[in-house]
Structure 1
Amino acid sequence: MITTSPRALYIHIPFCTNKCFYCDFNSFVLKGQPVEDYLEALEQEMKWTVEQIKPQMIDTVFVGGGTPTVLTPPQMELFLSAVKRHFPLSEQVEFTMEANPGTTDLDKLQVMRDGGVNRISFGVQSFDNKLLERIGRIHNVDDVYRSIENARSIGFTNLSIDLMFNLPDQTLETLDESVSRALALELPHYSLYGLKIEENTLFHTLYQRDELPLPSEDEELEMYLLIMNRLKNAGRHQYEISNFALPGYESRHNMTYWRNEPYYGMGAGAHGYHHGERHINIKGVQPYIDAARQQLPRLETRQVEPSEAMEDFMMVGLRMLDGVTADRFHSQFPGIELRDVFGETIDRLIGSGLLQYSPTEKRYRLSERGVPLGNEVFGAFLS
């Protein structure tokens, strides 16, 4: 396993204007929250962290949530200055911030750009106003266009949007229209996700009551294939199960996860992975604040056994359409050969047409048939 300090940093801002009906992320409605206290605690966690795990040059930063862009411009400036104070950022750093359309006025975007942010990922989800309301989003399609225009006017060029499929009452036709409108924006990166029903969400309650009219499994597959074909035909290559980009605009931060490489994780409920150890932070806002004033605000810390790390390597690595190589496996697990551990499983998946092998690269990747059946492939590597 990799034992050097992480070169990737994830920071969690858990505040939202409201809770979407499908969301099970660690997020809290903004009203009444101690935001300034949270940002102070977050900086204290940064201080504790760099004292214990001295950082190398940081290549990627990702600020997620919640909705980080609910911070006011002064709060945003305070937060971004703390990041640069505690972590040395590479001159070529990819610094991503998630944003909700309608929460990025020009003043806030200027503070973000001045503070080092150079990539924005907008949670658009759909270009159908009725569907946005159906899933609990508070923005509308006009907000999307205004937010993209604002970001471009400030000088942001590395922009991404999320779209969702398999939504209640969604059809192939309405999805196709959303994809068309998304592509008309001519962005360099698109992420497309199928709705999953998670516990502790309004949609889970409705699903249990049989009150959530979702597309059938066959329709869901058709939606995914539609998206794949539309994005590829528009010149955005599929580099991961759910992600499409122009060459050079792939999410470098997310590739850290998919390569099973270490990363710092900070903020309430954040996950981190370094030196063979995974941690989860305390999830509640006030409990996190109280804990971070005293020590690292950990909820749980555990060593990752080599066998689990190897399984993780295969499951997340095969999400990338480039797949995994025997050499990269060997570099993370010196003295161990990929086929010695997973040869039987690999041969079975190749035999069933879900994986393919490149002898010259010693590379395994999902086949065309395996891409829409990725979960079946990933699960095969669990002991």
Structure 2
Amino acid sequence: MTNHPGILSSRPPEAVYIHIPFCTNKCFYCDFNSYVLKDQPVMDYLRALEREMELTVQERPPGVIKSIFVGGGTPTVLKPDEMEYFLKTIRSCFPNWAEDIEFSMEANPGTTDPDKLAVMKAGGVNRVSFGVQAFQNELLSGIGRIHNVGEVYRSLDNARAAGLTNLSIDLMFGLPNQTVDMLGESIKRALDLGLPHYSIYSLKVEENTLFHSLFNKNQLPLPSEEDELAMYLLLMSSMEEAGYRQYEISNFAKPGMESRHNITYWRNQDYYGLGAGAHGYVQRMRHMNVKGVGPYIEATKNGLPRLNAYPVSREEAMEDFMMVGLRMRDGISDAAFREQFDRPLEDVFGGPLHKMLNAGLLEQEGGNYRLSRQGLLFGNDVFGEFVGVLTDI
């Protein structure tokens, strides 16, 4: 369906993000909307979440749901009975699932006992992403993680025993006191697990975190820029040699095992965002929900718990398309751009595209553009070229 410029297709969202803001403790680097579980009104929150789901589907009915992603916090801190209630509410509010739905849930090692995993699988979860971060106990304690390496293996064994085989782990590099050799050991131990998917992120020192205050006092022993670059190069070469495709700047998968939910974001497609502090994007409207647990619960009693909601201009949507799309190794295509905006890509972004091609940071194949190997190392510089260039289109 071709739209008149600026007019959107009425295709309903097919992806759902749901936020569980509770966790066992706050990691030193974390600036996510999360709260330590002790004394939190968990069931009140889950009931409020159910109200938001009901109101959302009344206002914007869903299509066939192709992906659900439950993030946090740590969703697996829910007790088995809470988890069962939560998963039933998802199924009742979003009953129409694709046969091959990808239903992911984030988990921390040590929070997934067999009973809970059985409830998750019965409730439809078929993909679990574990926040491992490192395979050295001294690094884990240094970033505020409370699991140890032994719990990583136990958690993965429990998941497989429950029949969950689509498993992913997160690792981090650029951590305080981490060496290139330490990352190499973590990558080797991760690859020895033979999982279908790995996400590997560099540490970002975010405001309102313990690490930020330490950094400002010059008390955060981070690796040098040279070592951090060496870590990323080691990561890419190790994954490639092991048969994993780098399908996005920080994500590696066996063929066909890419995270379909995250690809929704990178293709700038619509998704529901539910829960405290969650962001959503539907029919070129973005929203952000009320953040605090108590305020979120109260807000759902009077309607949708919005902190703000605003239309995304055509120009901003075009820039978003470029910035998130170029994160993927497949890059962006003229055909997909025309489908969303009814304009040739070259007409809108010809200048920065050719500048980045000439700099060797982008590659072109027909109507497709993607980061070069060199461009992967300077992604933020490339993305920045597409911000603020549209003034009169």
TM-score range, shorter chain: over 0.9
> Cα offset for 1:274?
0.6
Query: Alignment identity in percent?
Result: 61
Check conservation: 1:2, 1:261, Cα contact below 8 A. Answer: no
Tell me the distance in 2 between the aligned counterparts of 1:217 and 1:379: 20
**Alignment pair present for 1:259 and 2:267:** yes
Check conservation: 1:6, 1:56, Cα contact below 8 A. Answer: yes
Tell me the distance in 1 between the aligned counterparts of 2:382 and 2:135: 32
What is the letter of the counterpart of residue 295 of structure 2?
A: P
Tell me which residue corresponds to 1:315: 323
Determine which of 8, 14, 28 is the counterpart of 1:7: 14
Counterpart mapping for 1:20-39 below 5 A: 20-39=27-46
> Cα offset for 1:89?
1.5
> What is the SS of the residue equivalent to 2:177?
coil
**Alignment pair present for 1:278 and 2:286:** yes
Q: For residues 253-304 of structure 1, what are the alpha-carbon distances to aligned partners after superposition, in whole Å with 9 as ceiling and x for unaligned? A: 0000000000000000000001110000000000000001110000010000
Tell me which residue corresponds to 1:101: 109
RMSD of the TM alignment (CA)? 0.6
Tell me which residue corresponds to 1:82: 89
Check conservation: 1:277, 1:301, Cα contact below 8 A. Answer: yes
Tell me the distance in 1 between the aligned counterparts of 2:207 and 2:12: 34
Tell me which residue corresponds to 2:345: 338
> What is the SS of the residue equivalent to 2:172?
strand
Tell me which residue corresponds to 1:300: 308
Tell me the distance in 1 between the aligned counterparts of 2:233 and 2:385: 23
What is the letter of the counterpart of residue 218 of structure 2?
A: D
Determine which of 115, 130, 138 is the counterpart of 1:122: 130
Tell me which residue corresponds to 1:381: 386
Tell me which residue corresponds to 2:68: 61
Check conservation: 1:3, 1:276, Cα contact below 8 A. Answer: no
Q: Could you list the runs of 4 or more consecutive aligned residues of structure 1 that deviate by over 4 angstroms after TM superposition?
A: none
What is the letter of the counterpart of residue 241 of structure 1?
A: I
Tell me which residue corresponds to 1:288: 296
What is the letter of the counterpart of residue 313 of structure 1?
A: F
Check conservation: 1:188, 1:249, Cα contact below 8 A. Answer: yes
**Alignment pair present for 1:358 and 2:365:** yes
**Alignment pair present for 1:47 and 2:54:** yes
> What is the SS of the residue equivalent to 2:52?
helix
> Cα offset for 1:4?
2.2
Check conservation: 1:127, 1:178, Cα contact below 8 A. Answer: yes
Determine which of 243, 249, 260 is the counterpart of 1:235: 243
> Cα offset for 1:219?
1.0
> Cα offset for 1:2?
5.1
Give the TM-score normalised by the residue count of structure 1.
0.99
What is the letter of the counterpart of residue 381 of structure 2?
A: E
Tell me the distance in 1 between the aligned counterparts of 2:224 and 2:300: 46
Determine which of 178, 185, 188 is the counterpart of 1:180: 188
> Cα offset for 1:3?
4.1
Q: For residues 219-277 of structure 1, what are the alpha-carbon distances to aligned partners after superposition, in whole Å with 9 as ceiling and x for unaligned? A: 11110110011011101110000000001100000000000000000000000001110
> What is the SS of the residue equivalent to 2:378?
helix
**Alignment pair present for 1:208 and 2:216:** yes
Check conservation: 1:276, 1:304, Cα contact below 8 A. Answer: yes
> Cα offset for 1:218?
1.4
> What is the SS of the residue equivalent to 2:130?
strand
Tell me the distance in 2 between the aligned counterparts of 1:57 and 1:329: 23
> What is the SS of the residue equivalent to 1:193?
strand
Check conservation: 1:132, 1:140, Cα contact below 8 A. Answer: yes
Tell me which residue corresponds to 1:194: 202
> Cα offset for 1:18?
0.2
> Cα offset for 1:5?
1.5
What is the letter of the counterpart of residue 42 of structure 2?
A: V
Tell me the distance in 2 between the aligned counterparts of 1:293 and 1:177: 50
**Alignment pair present for 1:132 and 2:140:** yes
Check conservation: 1:2, 1:262, Cα contact below 8 A. Answer: no
Structure 2: gaps of 5 or more residues:
1-7, 389-393
What is the letter of the counterpart of residue 366 of structure 1?
A: L
Q: For residues 63-103 of structure 1, what are the alpha-carbon distances to aligned partners after superposition, in whole Å with 9 as ceiling and x for unaligned? A: 00000000000000000000000102211100000000000
Tell me the distance in 1 between the aligned counterparts of 2:99 and 2:83: 21
Check conservation: 1:323, 1:363, Cα contact below 8 A. Answer: yes
Tell me the distance in 1 between the aligned counterparts of 2:284 and 2:78: 34
Tell me the distance in 2 between the aligned counterparts of 1:371 and 1:77: 41
Tell me the distance in 2 between the aligned counterparts of 1:182 and 1:350: 35
Give the direction of change, closer, same or farther, for the CA distance of 1:2–1:175 in structure 2 (3 Å limit): farther
Determine which of 144, 157, 170 is the counterpart of 2:165: 157
Tell me the distance in 2 between the aligned counterparts of 1:286 and 1:131: 34
